[in-house]
Amino acid sequence: MALQVYTASLLKEGLVAYLALENGHPSWTSDIHQATVSEGDALDALKKAAEQSEQENIVVAPYAIDVLKTEDGIVAATKREQIRADGPTIGLPQDNLRESRQAA
Amino acid sequence: MDNYIKDRKIDSNEWMPFTGLEDGGSLPAGDIYVPLEEWLNARETLLTRNGRLGIALRNTDDPAIIKDDLERLDLVVLEFPKMADGRAFTQARLLRERYGFKGEIRATGDVLYDQLFYMQRCGVNGFELRDDQNASHSLKAFDEMTVTYQPAFDEELPLWRRHK
Amino acid sequence: MYQYSEQDHQLLLERVSQFRGQVARRLKGELSEEEFKHQRLRNGLYLQLHAYMLRVAIPYGLLSSEQMRTLAHIARKYDKGYGHFSTRQNIQYNWPKLEDVPDILDDLAKVEMHAIQTSGNCIRNTTSDPLAGVARDEIEDPRPYCELIRQWSTFHPEFNFLPRKFKIAVSGATHDRAAVAVHDIGLRLVKNETSEEIGFEVYVGGGLGRTPMLGKVIRKYLPKQDMLTYLEAILRVYNMLGRRDNIYKARSKILVHETGEEKFRELVEAEWEKIKAGGLFLRDEDFKWVKGFFNDPAYEALPDQDADFENLMLSNADFARWVDKNIELHKQSGYRIVYLSLKTALQPPGDVTADQMDAIADLADKYSLGHIRTTHRQNLVLSDVQLKDLPALWEELKALDLATPNYNHVTDIISCPGLDYCALATARSIPISQAITARFDDYDFINDLGDVSINISGCINACGHHHVANIGILGVNKKGTEVYQLTLGGSAREDAAIGKIIGPAFEADEIVDAVGKVLSVYLESREDPEETFLMAYRRLGQAPFKERLYG
């Protein structure tokens, strides 16, 4: 059984968020490393908390994703989820422009 | 209480849907509406009643089928099975603008706040709101927009010809 | 440009306040996400991979400098300092917050802009030729017709819940710069052979996506007076008969295909007969009124030559290259049309920073009568520049990284946002476009290749129009890896064609080489430099390309 975390989009901001459960208290964090990792039956608690947050209009469309525990912490298993966790793989256009002008 | 709006007022629904003809029982009194198939099968029998009569169309039916019957009808019920399915908007306009129907055109199904404005523009004047909708709040939806560009049931001409 | 009337303004204010209410109802939980989705999409608001994405309409690609400054302001205040020009001539912001969107719409409304119907299953922003009104090959200016379509389609009560999205494009010139054949409805302005009257050749059922199809000519000649009644008839047939059982079969192209061209035409013509004399019939007064908004600006009478310009052409090779690639002749003597290339190795195709937007607005005021156009190939246009100003404009554009001489050349790549931004994408497209640009970013090579198009989509929905590129690249996810399929031979112009897949897909680190091989085959096999890539491909067929790629 794969390790999983719950992710969703924050309703107000639209930003990517991960579910952290501490002593049964749910909170949503933008940092996948802070997410609560679970597997098997223990996932049910995460699922319930995520659905609760959806009903309370805190997040939109929560779902579970497979993750791996590595030396660098939690890493999403798929490219798509890695990009969701880390942001676009290309720099912001203004940063690229600035760097190129500095180099010139 | 009925979650029903007629002519932009909260109203009580006096109409009964009726699909029991095939059971051979007697026809109910009062105002009833029947599915199109029953009308096509039992037109003459239905016309012997005293109460008012309506027909419910599926949103795949061509309203032309009942164009010659419209004078005898007081109600046509249209279905919006889900919000995204907009076929009945066309049916409403055809009933009003092409076939001159003067009775009530009623929207049923996923009849939601944000569609009322468009439905009204197409000639719908009866609204069986979905159960979770608040009827008195929904009355506001009719006036959220006051500017309309194109002709429809409520306007004969496009905006650019009206202000000249 | 079209000037808003009091009622146009009123409509936008009402729409903003309506949307503000919808957002409030959503935040309070009175609207479910499913129901809100229909509402927010009708106002251009998506929930994407990282955040909400707001698509702002640029009707038929026309912007004033004041509007461009507002777009910059929005990028700065509510987003991360940039925007993305799309293949439908609109602009997208990648990071707005839901609670800010009503305020963004308020700011847009002040400059007669909005996000109405930029998404959702309704009639989308009408697109057109970016050179409308200034092109030399124009039969008539399409913009007045686009404006009539804009008004007719905005909040059309009957057609706001269609089976699927519906796109209309209008071209008024001999050369098709609006890709009319790949729209649900394409209108090509034509002159009646006998009467000399203006009308339209009407295409229907074109579209890309997972089942690409070229539009079929449903009518060779439609008098212009009948434009809107005919559109209404097509939409009505589509609304009633378009498939709603399968989202992938719901576009008009499938209806036309499954119904058959002939039968579909009969249905439309029969419906049209019944409404052609109705309120949408267009009279001479209507044309006169709407054309009044698109009169030529007060052009100066200028010679079509300039000594300083010619001297610089001779003395500065870089300037000459830019002129050769990015300047187009203008219908008015002494004026030129200038393409601002949004395609460099530094920025994703179509991305513009807020600072660039402000600078472009200033340049438009200084050199181009305040007008800016967006193109479906994700570039910008300054449409009315005096020949004598080209040297000065070039210097300023260079400083902004907007003077890459590559318009309609190999590094002028169309790319969708791909998996870096898009929730639907299955592979990244921007890094591939950047890698191709980096590899071929050599003027002599670009120049030698001549007219060729590369388009990249990050999934089968084909927002990057890969089907109609000479060289199309489609990113797909194969067992967790991003791989890229090549299609060759497409065109979005008057010789429109859907490209064909050449063979098995390439890994991300192979695709640039594969494109290089395709280009080599062309360079080695062309009869002379006048034979473009597309002409050569049509003559040679797939075989030599296949042989080089997989042999």
Q: Is the ipTM of this complex over 0.90?
A: yes
Cβ distance B90 to C278 less than 8 Å, yes or no, reads no
> Quick one: B49 exposed, middle or buried, by C-beta within 10 A (0-12, 13-18, 19+)?
middle
Contact C349, C337 (CB under 8 A): no
In-domain check, residue C232: yes
Between positions 137 and 196 of C, the ones with CB within 8 A of A are: none
Query: Both C394 and C450 in a single domain?
Result: no
Give C351's contacts in chain A (Cβ within 8 Å). 93
Q: Which of C370, C399, C428 is where one domain is finished?
A: C399
Query: Both C210 and C268 in a single domain?
Result: yes
From the list A61, A93, A100, the residue facing C82 with the nearest CB is: A93
Give C10's contacts in chain B (Cβ within 8 Å). 146-147
CA distances from B158 to A21, C269, C276, C280, C291 (A): 57, 22, 14, 7, 17
Nearest-Cα distance to chain B for C121, in Å, is 8
With contact defined as 3+ CB pairs under 8 Å, the chains touching B are C
Contact B83, B112 (CB under 8 A): yes
Cβ distance A97 to C346 less than 8 Å, yes or no, reads yes
Q: Are B and A touching by the rule of 3+ CB pairs within 8 Å?
A: no
From the list A9, A88, A89, the residue facing C47 with the nearest CB is: A9
Mutate to test the interface with C, among A9, A16, A30, A51 (most CBs of C within 10 A): A9
Nearest-Cα distance to chain C for A2, in Å, is 16
Q: What share of chain B is helix, strand, coil (3-state, %, to 5)?
A: 35, 20, 45
Query: Both C44 and C139 in a single domain?
Result: no
What does the mean pLDDT of chain C come to? 97
Nearest-Cα distance to chain B for C38, in Å, is 8
The total domain count for chain C is 4
Q: Is the pLDDT of residue B98 over 70?
A: yes
Cβ distance C14 to B144 less than 8 Å, yes or no, reads yes
Give A78's contacts in chain C (Cβ within 8 Å). 480
Which pLDDT does position B22 carry in this prediction?
63
Nearest to residue B79, comparing CAs of B121, B14, B142, B124?
B124
Query: Both C40 and C163 in a single domain?
Result: no
Which pLDDT does position A96 carry in this prediction?
83
Which is it for the CA torsion C135, C137, C143, C149, positive or negative? Answer: negative
Which pLDDT does position A24 carry in this prediction?
85
B134: nearest CA in chain C?
A: C30
In-domain check, residue C128: no
Q: Which of C293, C318, C338 is where one domain is finished?
A: C293
Instruction: Please give the Cα distance from B124 to B108 (Å, whole number).
Output: 10
Instruction: Please give the Cα distance from C203 to C510 (Å, whole number).
Output: 38
CATH of the domain at C389: 3.90.480.20
- All residues at 6 or more sequence positions from B37 whose CB lies less than 8 Å from its CB, including other chains: none
Give B147's contacts in chain C (Cβ within 8 Å). 7-8, 10-11, 14
The mean pLDDT of C390-417, rounded to a whole number, is: 97
Size (chain C), residues = 551
- Give the domain range for residue A55: 3-103
- Give the domain range for residue C418: 414-550
pLDDT in tens, C517-536: 999 999 999 999 999 999 99
Query: Both C143 and C285 in a single domain?
Result: yes
Contact C381, C372 (CB under 8 A): yes
The mean pLDDT of C3-19, rounded to a whole number, is: 96
Query: Both C22 and C168 in a single domain?
Result: no
Q: Which of C247, C266, C293 is where one domain is finished?
A: C293
| Alpha helix (H) residue ranges in C316-389 | 317-326, 354-367
Cβ distance C99 to A97 less than 8 Å, yes or no, reads no
Query: Both C158 and C274 in a single domain?
Result: yes
Give C121's contacts in chain B (Cβ within 8 Å). 84, 86
In-domain check, residue C244: yes
Which pLDDT does position B163 carry in this prediction?
67
pLDDT in tens, C95-119: 999 999 999 999 999 999 999 999 9
From the list C348, C421, C431, the residue facing A93 with the nearest CB is: C348
Q: Does A57 touch chain C (CB under 8 A)?
A: yes
In-domain check, residue C407: no
Residues A84, A90, A94: CA angle, nearest 5 degrees:
120
Which pLDDT does position B24 carry in this prediction?
62
> Quick one: A62 exposed, middle or buried, by C-beta within 10 A (0-12, 13-18, 19+)?
buried
C25: nearest CA in chain A?
A: A57
Q: Does A59 touch chain C (CB under 8 A)?
A: no
Q: Is the pLDDT of residue C334 over 70?
A: yes
Cβ distance C51 to A100 less than 8 Å, yes or no, reads no
CA distances from C207 to C21, C217, C424, C539 (A): 34, 14, 18, 26
Query: Both C378 and C473 in a single domain?
Result: no
CA distances from C432 to B35, C349, C398 (A): 57, 11, 24
Burial readout C255-285 (b: 16 or more C-beta within 10 A, e: otherwise): bbbebeeeebbebbeebbeebbeebbebeee
Beta strands in C224-367 (DSSP E): 327-329, 335-340, 351-353
Cβ distance A12 to C351 less than 8 Å, yes or no, reads no
Q: Is the pLDDT of residue C17 over 60?
A: yes
Which tokens in the block code for residue B85? Answer: 């399915």
Instruction: Please give the Cα distance from C106 to C210 (Å, whole number).
Output: 36
The mean pLDDT of B128-148, rounded to a whole number, is: 95
In-domain check, residue C125: no
Q: Does A68 touch chain C (CB under 8 A)?
A: no
Give C158's contacts in chain B (Cβ within 8 Å). 86, 89-90, 93, 118, 122, 152
The mean pLDDT of C173-183, rounded to a whole number, is: 96
B111: nearest CA in chain C?
A: C35
The total domain count for chain A is 1
Nearest-Cα distance to chain C for B21, in Å, is 30
**B21 — pLDDT class (breaks 50, 70, 90):** low
CATH of the domain at C527: 3.30.413.10
In-domain check, residue C67: yes
pTM: 0.96
Tally of CA atoms within 13 A in the half-sphere of C511 that contains its CB: 29
Which pLDDT does position C367 carry in this prediction?
98
pLDDT in tens, A33-60: 999 999 988 899 999 999 999 999 999 9
Nearest-Cα distance to chain B for C305, in Å, is 43
Query: Both C162 and C277 in a single domain?
Result: yes
Nearest-Cα distance to chain C for A81, in Å, is 9
- All residues at 6 or more sequence positions from C393 whose CB lies less than 8 Å from its CB, including other chains: C338, C363, C367, C382, C385
pLDDT in tens, C456-485: 999 999 999 999 999 999 999 999 999 999
Domains and CATH numbers, chain B: 4-162 (3.20.20.70)
Query: Both C215 and C345 in a single domain?
Result: no
Nearest to residue B135, comparing CAs of B15, B4, B6?
B4
Which pLDDT does position B164 carry in this prediction?
54
Which pLDDT does position C172 carry in this prediction?
97
The mean pLDDT of C212-217, rounded to a whole number, is: 97
Query: Both C91 and C157 in a single domain?
Result: no
Query: Both C340 and C266 in a single domain?
Result: no
**B126 — pLDDT class (breaks 50, 70, 90):** very high
With contact defined as 3+ CB pairs under 8 Å, the chains touching A are C
Cβ distance B159 to C159 less than 8 Å, yes or no, reads no
In-domain check, residue C383: yes
Cβ distance C82 to A94 less than 8 Å, yes or no, reads yes
Q: Order across the sheet with C380-386: list the strands.
A: C62-64, C371-374, C380-386, C335-340, C327-329
A15: nearest CA in chain C?
A: C51
The mean pLDDT of C243-271, rounded to a whole number, is: 97
Q: Does A80 touch chain C (CB under 8 A)?
A: yes
